[in-house]
Structure 1
């Protein structure tokens, strides 16, 4: 595809100045934890860390992708808030990882400055 694109096309393709950012999450739970405890933790996570920051989560209880709840990009501050919430010492979690900000539509592309 040509790199000399119109503004309208760049917006439609979510590239260049219209790039949208998000981040990946992985969770590992303590061994022997029952499904109900995992479900309760995950519901708390969605309500407190995701919805309270106007974010959206796509995935499951062990892996997912966080993006903005509307069109646009996740800010570094929003990412840091989710990461801080996960590090508060939840009894259910054995660990979690939060990726750096990534291009939502084209994860292989670098993030624009």
Structure 2
């Protein structure tokens, strides 16, 4: 069923040219990391990687979702900055960054960038 929506409604629904992208993230910690060390890591992650890049992390200490702190989409460059920061962290045995995906409607495909 084709749907014709006004520009205003598309913006409110965050669809079509107003699609907002983010990505999923999961952490695997090295053996022996206690709750205090993980909590300290998460605070450092927020203060040094997420907030300075105008992003927001929603989730727990094992997995979550990162999106832009305002309306709009996470860029591939911002995703790379998070990837680079995480690669330098000694507490992690590994981590997984998902691809950029629709933050509001995860089942929708990502629209090509508007020129």
Give the corresponding residue for 1:51.
51
Q: How does 1:58-73 map to 2 (within 5 A)?
A: 58-73=58-73
Q: 1:5-84 counterparts in 2 under 5 A?
A: 5-84=5-84
TM-score, length basis structure 1: 0.95
Distance 1:86 1:37 in 2: 15
Name the structure 2 match of 1:112.
Answer: 111
> Runs ≥4 in structure 1, deviation > 2 angstroms?
none
1:73-105: per-residue Cα shift (whole Å, max 9, x none)? 1111101100111112x2211100001100000
Q: What does residue 93 of structure 2 align with?
A: 94
Q: For residue 31 of structure 1, report the CA deviation from its aligned partner.
A: 1.5
Structure 1 unaligned residues grouped into runs of 5+: none
Q: Normalised by the size of structure 2, how large is the TM-score?
A: 0.94
SS of the counterpart of 2:52? helix
In 2, the alpha carbon distance for the partners of 1:58 and 1:2 equals 33
Equivalent-residue separation in structure 2 for 1:109 and 1:66 (angstroms): 17
Distance 1:76 1:8 in 2: 27
Q: Deviation at 1:2?
A: 5.0
CA distance in 1, matches of 2:90, 2:34: 13
